[in-house]
Structure 1
Amino acid sequence: MANVTNYGPSSTSMERDARQIHADKPVAPNSIAIGVVIGRTSEFFDFFVYGLASVLVFPQLVFPFAPDRLTATLYSFAIFSLAFMARPVGSVVFMTIDRLYGRGTKLTIALFLLGGSTASIAFLPGYNEIGVWSIALLALFRLGQGFALGGAWDGLASLLALNAPQSQRGWYAMIPQLGAPIGFALASLLFGYFVANLSSEDFLSWGWRYPFFVAFAINVVALFARLRLVMTKEFGTALEQHELEAAPIRDVVRIHGRDILIGAFVPLASFAMFHLVTIFPLGWMSLYGNQPIGAFMLVQTVGAMVGVLAIVASGLMADRIGRRGQLAVCAVLIAIFSFVGPIMLGSGSNGHDAFVIIGFGVLGLSFGQATGSISSRFGRGYRYTGAAFTSDLAWLVGAGFAPLVALSLSSRFGLTFVGYYLLSGAICTLAALAFSRALEQRD
C-alpha cells in the first residue's frame, strides 16, 4: 500500500487524496502567481464595488433623510468602515474552521459568504421603501463582507514566496498586490459605464445593481482557481512543514504579540493612502468638483493602470535595495505627497487628474511591498495566522476609517488636513521600520 503523506490539521481526507492524485504534476511559480492574482482581484473587486457605491448610490438611496449630501456621504462612509472592524473577527472564526475542516472548506464558505453578501446588496431596498431597515441591512451585508474577507486569507501569497528564488523575493512579493489596482479598474469601468450612459433616475433605480451581481460571478471563478492551488502537492508540502499551518490566534499573540504590533504599523503609510486615491477623491469630486463623474472615473482607471506599473517597479526596486529600504523610501515619498497632493486636488480639473495619477504611482511603489513586509518576522508554524491577523489590524488602523476621516477633515478644515492625516501615516511607517530594525539588532 502506498504511503499517504500527513499534511497536518489544515487538510481533510478529501484534500489529501486530491494532493496525492496531483503529486506527479508540480505547479510552477507562474501558475501560483496567476491563481494569486485572480484571487486578490476578486476580493478587491467586491470591496471597490461597495466603495464606489458608498459615494454614488448609498447617500441618496439609504440616507435621503440627511440634511445635505455631505452628511449623507459621511453616514455612508461610516458603514463602509464596518467591514474592516469585522475582518479580524472573521480571521479568528475561520482559522478555527481551517484547523477543524481544512483549507478548502474554509475558502469555500468564506468566498460564498463574500460573494453572497455583495450580491445581496444588489437587492437592497431604499430608505423610502422600508425605512431604517435599509440601513440595518446595508450594515449587515457590509459586516458580512468584512467577516468573509477574514476567512479568504488562503496562504497562496506565502506559497508563492516560498517557491520564489532568493534573489527575486521582492518581485514575487509584489505579484499578489496587483489584484488591488486591477480590481479597482474593473469596478471603476463597470460603474463608470452605467454612470455615463444612464440617466440619474435609471442609475439609482437599477443601473448600480449590476456590478454587485458581477461580483458574485467573479468570486465563483476565483474560488475554483484558488481551490486548484490548495489541492496541489506544493501546498500540502508547505502544510506538512508547518509553513502554512493555521495556528490558534491566542498562541500567535502570546509568542509574536510584539511582531503583530510592529507589523500593523509598518504598512500604515501605504494603507492610509490606499483609500485616499481611490474612494476619497471620488467623494470629494461628487460634492465639490466640477468634472463629470463618469469622466473622473475614467481618469481613476488610468491611475489604476499606473498603479499596476508602479507595483511591478516596486518588485525590481525591492530586489535591489531591500524591502525595508523600499518601504522607507516610499514612506518619504508619501510624506512629500501629503504636502503637494492637497494642492493638486484643490486646483481644478487638471489638478484632480494629477492627484489621482501621481497618487496611484506613489501608492503602487509602496503597496507593492507592504503586505510582504508583514509576514517576514513570524516563525514557521505562526507565519500564516500571524500574517493574516497582522494584515487585518493594519487595514483596520490604516485604511478602514480613511475615507470618513479624510472627508470629515477636508469639509471642516480644508484639504490641507487630509495631508496632515497622510503625513501621520508616513511617520508611523518610518518609526515602525526603525523600531523593528532596532529590535532585530538587539535580538
Structure 2
Amino acid sequence: MSEITLPTEHQTPPNLKRAIFGSLIGTSLEWYDFFLYGSAAALVFSHVFFPGFDPKTGTLLAFATFSIGFIARPVGGVIAGHYGDRVGRKNVLLVTISLMGATTVGIGLVPSYDSIGIAAPILLIICRLVQGIALGGEWAGGALMIAERAPDARRGYLTSFVQVGVPIGTLLSTAVLFIMSAVLSDEDFLQWGWRIPFLLSIVVVAVGVYIRRQVAETPAFLAMKEDEEVVETADKRPPIIQVLKEQPKDVLRVVGIRAGADIVYYTCVTFMLTYVAQQLGLPREVGLIASLIGAGFQLFAYPAFARLGDRYGRRPVTVFGAALCALWVFAFFPLMDTKNAALIAIAVVSGLIFHAAMYGVQAAWICELFDTKHRYSGASLGYQLSGIVGGSLAPTISLALFNAFDSTLPIQIYVALGCVIVLITALATRETRGIDIMPASNKEL
C-alpha cells in the first residue's frame, strides 16, 4: 500500500512541529510556576508570611504580592521584546524559562515569618518581582515561535497551543498542591508541604531548557535580518519606542481584548479558591478539584475556538465569548453558594469554557496586529499591560468588594463590565484572519 500524502496546506513541517512542542511545553512549565504562586497565595501565604493579621486581611496581603508579579510583567515584556526583536526569539525564551524556574525554587526556600520576621515577606516579594519579569517575556516569544512559521490559514489553530500551556500549567500546579494537601495534615501542609511543588521547578527548568534548545529561530525574523535593504534602513530606535510611535492604538486594543478575559479567569480560578475555603467553609479540595476539571476542558476548548477563529475570524469568536461570560457571571456565585461540589464544578467549568472563546484566538490575533520588526515588543507590552489592569487586580478587587459590601453582586458587575470592554474593543479591532505576516520583501521565505 502506498503512503498517503496530505495536501501541502495540511502538512506540518518538522521545524513547525518542534516549535509547537517547544512553545507548548515551555509555556506550560512557565505557567505552572506562575499559577502555583496564585494557588499558594489563596491557600497558604496568609498563614506563612502574614500570620499577624486576621484571615481576610492576610489573604488580601497575599493577593497583593500576587499582583506584584503582574506589575513586573510589562518590565519583562519590554526587556524581552527589545532583545527578541533585535537578536532573535529563541535565545530570549531560554533566558525566561531559566529565570522563572530559579525564582520559583527560591520561593520554596524562603523562610516563614515566624523564622525571620519581616524579611520573609520582603524576600517573597523580591522573588515574585523577578518571576513576573521572567513571565513578561515568555508568552509573546512562545506565540511568535509558532505564528511566524505557521501557514496563514491555520495560524489561529496552531498558535492556540501556546494558550493550551495555560490549562496545562494550571493542571500541574493544582494537581501537585492537591496531592500534597490530601496526603498531609493541615499542620504539615502549612509548615513544609506547600514548598515541595515550588522546589520541583528545578526539574521543570531542565526539561524546558532542553526542549527549547532544539527549536530553530523563526523564518520571519531571519528573513527580516537577512534582507539587506531592511538592515540598511532599519530604525535605530528601541523596538518599544517604534511600536509606541507607529502602532500605539494596537497596543491599547490588545489591552482591551485581554484585560476582561483575565478578570474572568482569575475570578473564576484564584478568587474562587479563597471564596470556597473561607466564605463557604468547604474543604480546599472542593475548589481545587473544580479548577482541575475546568482546566481539563480548556485543553480542548482553546484549539476548538481557535479553529473557529481560522474559519470565521478572530473578532466574532471573541465577541461571542465576551457576551457569554458577561451573562455567565450572574449564575456563577449563586451556583457556588449552594455549597454543592458538583454545582461548584459546573460553575467553574462553564466559565472557563466561555473564557476559552476569548482567549483561544488571542495568540494569533495579537501577533498578526504588529509588524515583524517590533512584533515581540508590541505583543509583549499589550499582553502584559492587560495583566496589570485585568488579572493582577481581579482577586484583590473581588475580595475587597466582597469585604466592603458583604455581597457578590458588586463582583458580578465588575466582571461583567470587563467582558463588555472586551466586546467593544473587539468590534473596534481590525480582523486579521489569514493575513501574511512575513516581511514584505521576503514573502518567498
TM-score for the superposition, normalised by structure 2? 0.86
Q: Distance in 2 between matches of 1:302 and 1:277?
A: 13
Q: Given the alignment of the two structures, is residue 287 of structure 1 paired with residue 288 of structure 2, yes or no?
A: no
Pairing partner for 1:354 from 339, 346, 365: 346
| CA deviation vs aligned residue, 1:361-406 (integer Å, no higher than 9, x gap) | 1122221112332232212312221111111111222111111111
Matched residue count: 411
Q: Secondary structure at the match of 1:81?
A: helix
RMSD: 2.4
Pairing partner for 2:166 from 160, 180, 193: 180
Pairing partner for 2:254 from 240, 247, 263: 263
% identical aligned pairs: 31
Structure 2: runs of 5 or more not aligned: 1-12, 432-445
Identify which range, 333-342 or 407-416, moves more after superposition: 407-416
Shift of 1:410: 2.3
After TM superposition, list the pairs within 5 Å mapping 1:282-431 onto structure 2: 282-349=273-340, 350-413=342-405, 414-431=407-424
Q: Distance in 2 between matches of 1:353 and 1:156?
A: 31
Please tell me the residue identity of whatever aligns with 2:421. Answer: C
Q: Given the alignment of the two structures, is residue 42 of structure 1 paired with residue 29 of structure 2, yes or no?
A: yes
Identify which range, 45-54 or 318-327, moves more after superposition: 318-327
Q: Secondary structure at the match of 1:155?
A: helix
Q: Distance in 2 between matches of 1:178 and 1:221?
A: 18
Please tell me the residue identity of whatever aligns with 2:287. Answer: F
Q: Distance in 1 between matches of 2:247 and 2:218?
A: 29
Q: Distance in 2 between matches of 1:362 and 1:315?
A: 13
Shift of 1:103: 4.7
After TM superposition, list the pairs within 5 Å mapping 1:126-165 onto structure 2: 126-153=112-139, 155-165=141-151
TM-score for the superposition, normalised by structure 1? 0.86
**Cα separation, partners in 2 of 1:427 and 1:230, compared to 1, 3 Å:** same
| CA deviation vs aligned residue, 1:28-86 (integer Å, no higher than 9, x gap) | 422221111101101110101111110121100001000x2111100000010001111
Shift of 1:142: 0.5
Pairing partner for 2:59 from 58, 73, 89: 73
Shift of 1:309: 1.8
Shift of 1:221: 1.3
Q: Is the 8 A contact 2:224 2:373 kept in 1?
A: no
Please tell me the residue identity of whatever aligns with 1:117. Answer: T
| CA deviation vs aligned residue, 1:287-326 (integer Å, no higher than 9, x gap) | 0224321243123211110111211221222123211110
Please tell me the residue identity of whatever aligns with 2:300. Answer: L
Identify which range, 195-204 or 220-229, moves more after superposition: 220-229
Q: Is the 8 A contact 2:224 2:372 kept in 1?
A: no
Q: State the match for 2:442 in structure 1.
A: none
Q: State the match for 1:250 in structure 2.
A: 241
Shift of 1:101: 6.2
**Cα separation, partners in 2 of 1:36 and 1:99, compared to 1, 3 Å:** closer
Q: Is the 8 A contact 1:114 1:145 kept in 2?
A: yes
Q: Distance in 1 between matches of 2:396 and 2:25?
A: 29
Q: Distance in 2 between matches of 1:366 and 1:393?
A: 17
Q: State the match for 1:23 in structure 2.
A: none
Structure 1: runs of 5 or more not aligned: 1-25, 439-443
**Cα separation, partners in 2 of 1:353 and 1:103, compared to 1, 3 Å:** closer
Q: Is the 8 A contact 1:270 1:370 kept in 2?
A: no
